[in-house]
Amino acid sequence: MSLVKKHKLKIITLILYLITLIYNQDIFIKSIYTTGGYLKEMVQILPAVFIVSGLITVWVPKEIIIKNFGKDSGLKGKLISVFIGSISAGPIYAAFPVAFSLFNKGASISNIVIIISSWAVVKVPMMIVEAKFLGYSFMLARVILTIPAIMIIGYFTNKFVEKEDIKSKVNGNRYEKYILEIENILPKFNCGGCGYGNCNEYAKAIVMESESIDKCSVMEDKTKTKIKDIVCKVSEKK
Amino acid sequence: MGTIILIAIAVIALGWSFFKDKKKTKESISLASKLFKNTFTEVFFLMSLIALLLAWIPQSLIKSVLGNPNELLSIAFGASIGTITIIPAFVAFPLAGSLLKSGSNLVAIAAFLTTLTMVGFATMPIEIKYFGKKFTLIRNGISIIAAIFIALGIGVIL
- What is the tens place of the pLDDT at every residue in A7-17? 888 888 899 99
State the smallest CA–CA distance between residue A238 and chain B in angstroms: 31
pLDDT in tens, A40-61: 888 888 888 888 888 888 888 8
Cβ-contact A17, A28 below 8 angstroms: yes
Convert A143-158 to b/e letters by CB count within 10 Å (16 or more is b): bebbbebbbebbebbb
- Averaged pLDDT of chain B: 84
Highest mean pLDDT among A15-19, A82-86, A197-201, B71-75: A15-19
From chain B residues 33-92, the ones with a CB under 8 A of any chain A CB are 33-36, 38-52, 54-56, 86, 88-90
pLDDT band at A172 (very low <50, low <70, confident <90, very high): very low
pLDDT at res. B88? 67
pLDDT exceeds cutoff 90 at B142: yes
- Mean pLDDT value across chain A: 82
Name the closest residue on chain B to residue A170, using Cα atoms. Answer: B132
Look at residues B79, B145, B152, B154 and name the one whose alpha carbon lies nearest to residue B117: B79
- Which pLDDT value is given to residue A238? 54
Chain B residues near residue A159 by CB distance under 8 angstroms: none
* Residues in chain A within 8 Å Cβ distance of B13: 51-52, 55
pLDDT at position A169, please? 39
Residues in chain A: 238
Cβ–Cβ gap B123/A93 under 8 Å: yes
Q: A214-220 long-range CB contacts below 8 Å, 24 or more apart?
A: A216/A186, A216/A187, A217/A193, A217/B27, A217/B30, A218/A57, A218/A58, A218/A187, A218/A189, A218/A191, A218/A193, A218/B27, A218/B31, A219/A186, A219/A187
Q: What's the CA gap between A49 and B38, in Å, rounded? A: 14
Res. A108 pLDDT band, cuts 50 70 90: very high
Which residues have CB under 8 Å from B104's CB, separation 6+? B63, B66, B67, B74
Rg value, chain A, Cα: 22
Q: Where are the domains of chain B?
A: 1-41, 57-157
Predicted complex ipTM: 0.81
Phi, psi (deg, nearest 5) at residue A173: -165, 140
Q: What is the mean pLDDT of residues A69-98?
A: 85
The answer to whether the predicted template modeling score (pTM) of the entire model surpasses 0.80 is no
pLDDT in tens, A195-216: 777 787 788 778 777 778 888 8
Q: List CB contacts (< 8 A) between A191 and chain B.
A: 30-31, 34-35, 38
Of A68, A137, A83, A74, residue with least CA distance to A114 = A83
